[in-house]
Chains A and B, each alone.
Chain A
Amino acid sequence: GAGVSQSPSNKVTEKGKDVELRCDPISGHTALYWYRQSLGQGLEFLIYFQGNSAPDKSGLPSDRFSAERTGGSVSTLTIQRTQQEDSAVYLCASSLRGGSGEQPQHFGDGTRLSIL
């Protein structure tokens, strides 16, 4: 498919476990974004990549959260020692290039994370 692909679509895990969420952006898109959508909080920004570097990590809620991007393509969001408040839908988006104001962000269907 030509869209942003995220896996897994659903993840249920026990409190305290680590989880990895994957995002495959649209081919050729240099900018990649992670957002979190939780009930009552709406959509909130987590981190932005331009190529492999992350100029803006300001939205990561704690040091348990980290993300990397390799080869300017696939990105992984890792949450260590998960807590119940981490339960949310994690959305990934990509755009042709960031910072131009001209390109829309294209979103995947998200990973629904549930912490028991």
Chain B
Amino acid sequence: KQEVTQIPAALSVPEGENLVLNCSFTDSAIYNLQWFRQDPGKGLTSLLLIQSSQREQTSGRLNASLDKSSGRSTLYIAASQPGDSATYLCAVEGGSEKLVFGKGTKLTVNP
């Protein structure tokens, strides 16, 4: 059974700092790994999707990497801003098409 773990559970940083969020998964047989952002009371916003054959994806200040063999992914956020404050969720998609989620990292960026 696939299990996804995110560390840390919460993170507080000053504005402008670069930061890394970690995600690990137990079964390397995945189609893709996705990073989402969730704001309070809202649904999930897709940030980046890395297919199993890819090593990384970039969008603006976000960079996600994938090491499938070791079951790890990182989300790098450059020059953090207060608007980046949210919960970040990592999820993997396996052969059953469903996403298996970690419990998230709650990020607070202080002005």
A45 touches B99 (CB 8 A): yes
Interface hits, A66-102 → B, CB 8 Å: 91, 93, 98-102
Which residues on the A side are within 8 Å of B93 (C-beta)?
Answer: 101
Chain A: number of interface residues, binned into ranges: 20 to 34
Query: Which of B34, B89, B98, B102 is in CB contact (< 8 Å) with A33?
Result: B98
A108 touches B51 (CB 8 A): no
Contacts A101-B32, A102-B51; A42 near B103 (Cβ below 8 A): yes
Query: Which of A48, A102, A108, A110 is in CB contact (< 8 Å) with B98?
Result: A48
Residue A18 interfacial (CB < 8 Å): no
The secondary-structure label for the interface of chain B is: strand
Residue of A42, A99, A101, A107 most packed against chain B (CB within 10 A) = A101
Distance A42 CA – B102 CA, assembled complex (angstroms)? 7
Query: Which of A91, A103, A104 is in CB contact (< 8 Å) with B43?
Result: A91
A108 touches B97 (CB 8 A): no
Interface hits, B15-74 → A, CB 8 Å: 31-32, 34, 36, 41-46, 49, 51-52
Q: Can you sample 27 A-B contacts with CB below 8 Å?
A: A4-B43, A6-B43, A33-B97, A33-B98, A35-B99, A42-B102, A42-B104, A43-B89, A43-B91, A45-B98, A48-B97, A48-B98, A56-B96, A56-B98, A58-B96, A91-B43, A91-B44, A99-B97, A101-B32, A104-B46, A104-B49, A105-B46, A105-B99, A106-B46, A107-B36, A109-B41, A109-B43
**Which B residues form the contact surface with A (CB < 8 A)?**
31-32, 34, 36, 41-46, 49, 51-52, 89, 91, 93, 96-104
